[in-house]
Amino acid sequence: MRVGVFGGVYNPPHLGHLILAQEAHDQLALDKVLLVPLAEPAHREIEADPGGEVRYEMCALAAADDDRLVPSRIELDRPGPSFTVDTLRELRSEAPNDELVLLIGGDQAAALRSWHAVDELLTLAGVAVAERDEWRREDILERLAGLPGCDDIAFFDMPRIEISSTLVRRRVQARRPIRYLVPDPVAALIADRNLYTVPAAAR
């Protein structure tokens, strides 16, 4: 099975996440895409974090009517900071015959050389990058030149979607609508639990 691994904070998951997952599934001939909310970032705090369980629940709601997408608890159920290489090791151990493809954005790809245990990471999974105007493949490959395995990085097209989790949270704080920015069940959960209504500085 060819499995896409799409990690992120998902605070909250929005339509840009789902479109990226869809485009990767289609263009890379994936059997499924795992949505993997991180538990504990290694180098930063999560702004206005409702908690990993809530972010996972939102991912599950976002993926509920799409068989191509599968929410994963793999990082939430593992103690300590969330490192991608640990997730890939665990997935490889659970299903050694699966072909793993790590899905990342261009900004993440440009910084890939600085990732924890990147040499091992590149032996555990292929890497596929959503190519957008800000980061073209030539620029990314130039930054990664000499990194073992970088010549095998794949690229897929991603429509320009000007949605971010930060935008969604800011709109909630400002009491502006978020419908059509996030899946309806996610918007309903945010409203029902009064998420993101208090600015981070006041929490």
Compute how many other C-beta atoms are within 10 angstroms of the C-beta atom of residue 25. 21
* C-alpha closest to that of 47 among 200, 194, 164: 200
**Domain positions in the chain:** 2-161
Q: Which of 82, 100, 97 is nearest to 24 (CA)?
A: 100
- Peptide bond just before 148 cis, omega within 30 deg: no
What is the identity of the amino acid at 82?
Answer: S
Superfamily of domain 2-161: HUPs (3.40.50.620)
Contacts of 175 (CB under 8 A, 6+ apart): none
Output the pTM of the full model. Answer: 0.94
Instruction: Quick: pLDDT tens for 138-186.
Output: 888 888 988 888 788 999 998 889 999 999 999 999 999 999 999 999 9
Q: What is the pLDDT of residues 107-141, one digit of tens each?
A: 899 899 999 999 999 999 999 999 876 777 888 88
